[in-house]
Amino acid sequence: MQKIEQEKFQHQIKILFLGEIGTGKTTLLLKYVTQEYCPQQSTVGVDYKQKFVEYQGKMIKLQLWDSAGLEKFQSISQNYFRKANSIFFIYEITNKKPFEEVFRLLNDVEQLASPDVIKVLIGSKIDLNYKREVSYDKGKQFALQNDLEFFELSSFWNRNLEDPINYVLEQFLKQKESKQKQNIQKKQNNVALSNQIVPMSNIKTQYFDHKLNIYLAGNTATGKSSLIQKYCFQKIISTRPNLGCDVNYKIVEYQGKKIKIVLWEIYMPKVQNFYIKANSVFLIYDISQNFTFQEIFNLINLVERSAPRDAINVLIGNKIDLNCRRQVSSGEGQQMAQDRKFQFYETSAFYDNPLEDPINYVLEQFLKQKESEQQQNIEMNQLNLSFSNQIVNLSQSNSMIQVENKKGCC
């Protein structure tokens, strides 16, 4: 298939491969994408492959995400589940433990993934049937009880590999068709009201309830500019490093409030006065360059000295699309964040919205701070009013005493 044809895909499907280490996730993914059988290859962190397929006359881009077992990488779970269309829960039929672990993974999915995500249970390694510990009936029963589609397959035998993918493709297109019909119906129902809608003027769109200053700190090679561009413009405009101070903003609505998010990036992040007005600081390193992680220690000390005490600090490991060249483990990043009481994320500018999770976290904390400040102001005003009333009453009492004294002496 030519590259030009691939770029004209009509849909994109994100499929996550979940399961414990050793269940055959990576082998299955590589066998499907490359037709190569690699039984000894394991994944550290998160790996990503893509494949273009034609199904029911539509060109579809499959994004296949493979983890090394999310129980060891809880810090990346939110990004990992974000906007997933389907999730494969994979266990090996020769081991009961990974099968029992699927139940916990299901609970994580209920909390983090979309309600309409297509869930599939897969028993792998049926070529080792003579070592089977989980029967076919047990897997099938578990799938029925938890609303999962069920398959058993073998990467070694190349058996049933495409069946789960084809099932997801079919269900995904059904969902799209259903949503399209709903949208058409909604437009028809609202056609009478549409003429009454007045577009918001450019002046009104500049109105906002709060201004949130987020400062991005880190080495020039950490991809800060790409993250900002992807968040503000949904695409990477330039990969050239910033050689000065760059500012971009975006107005968003969050919890009923319009908030102007101002993203600051500076070429020399060690300038102390740079962080004085920060509501939040994103400390960013490149997971494939250990020296960028080491520099974070110095930046943390600077930020803690110069930024406001209530600044919301977030540690971000960027470029997890380069997981094959990883030099900083998720555990190292998580440990640094825990030691400093920072929030921790790993992301990539290749995500649709790579800063969505950290910014949503900051928005939530920022509005809590504003609510707390507002409550404190109310209590202070009430206290001042009460104090003023006491002064007035005392003054009135003193005046009455003076009057009485004058009466007595005359």
As a whole number of angstroms, the distance between CA 22 and CA 382 comes to 63
Domain 3-177 has CATH 3.20.20.70: no
DSSP state of 159: B
Residue showing tokens 């904390």 = 365
User: What is the bridge-based pairing of β-strands 343-346 and 312-318?
Assistant: parallel
Give per-residue pLDDT as tens, 36-90: 776 655 555 567 788 999 998 899 999 988 876 554 545 455 666 778 899 999 9
Note whether 70 and 314 are within 8 A (CB).
no
Residue 46's DSSP bridge partners are: 67
End-to-end C-alpha distance for the chain, whole angstroms:
114
Q: Return all residues near 280 (Cβ < 8 A) that are at least 6 apart.
A: 212, 213, 214, 215, 311, 312, 313, 314, 362, 366
Q: What is the rounded average pLDDT for all residues in the chain? A: 81
This prediction's pTM: 0.51
Local confidence band at 393 (pLDDT 50, 70, 90 cut-offs): low
Helix, strand and coil content of the chain, in percent to the nearest 5, comes to 50, 25, 30
- Percentage of the chain with pLDDT > 90? 33
Q: Where are the domains of the chain?
A: 3-177, 203-365
Residue 276 has what pLDDT?
A: 86
Local confidence band at 196 (pLDDT 50, 70, 90 cut-offs): very low
CATH number of 203-365: 3.40.50.300
Residue 202 has what pLDDT?
A: 41
Note whether 308 and 366 are within 8 A (CB).
no
As a residue count, the chain comes to: 410
CA dist list (Å): 71 to 45, 99, 108, 181, 350: 11, 14, 10, 39, 24
Which one has a higher pLDDT value, 153 or 353? 153
DSSP 193-219: HHTTPPPPPHHHHT--SEEEEEEEES-
Handedness of CA 177, 181, 182, 184 (dihedral sign): positive
